[in-house]
Amino acid sequence: MTADRISLTGLRVRGHHGVFDFERADGQDFVIDVILELDLAPAAASDEVTDTVHYGELAGGLAEVVAGEPVNLIETLAQRLADVCLRDPLVLAATVTVHKPQAPIPHEFADVAVTIRRARP
């Protein structure tokens, strides 16, 4: 496995995910962090964006998922986001964190997050 990584952190997107009706109706902000593991040597040598992951396009694909079809659990959302990351054949593994800072918890808290790592078989 390569030690090279691309990180995209703090992607904030409004979504309608959650188990409660009001979460689905009102929506809330989700914050997404991803770390992609891949070999960046070809891109470093060629200086061509086609030899790496275009993080602007990645951000757009992730945002579409968060703003798209609602799911009950952020675990499910994290898996869908990992699937987006792994669509790019250059990506060997992806670590995805979904933050739900406005989760309906009746206590003061800073954040709720789920992190998953998925790799090619």
Can you tell me the distance from the alpha carbon of 78 to that of 65, in angstroms, rounded to the nearest whole number?
Answer: 10
Instruction: Tell how strand 113-119 and strand 28-37 pair up.
Output: unpaired
Q: Is 47 marked active-site?
A: no
pLDDT of residue 1: 55
Q: Which of 100, 105, 110, 118 is catalytic?
A: 100
Domains, the chain, with CATH or none: 5-119 (3.30.1130.10)
Q: Per residue in 42-83, pLDDT tens? A: 999 999 999 999 999 999 999 999 999 999 999 999 999 999
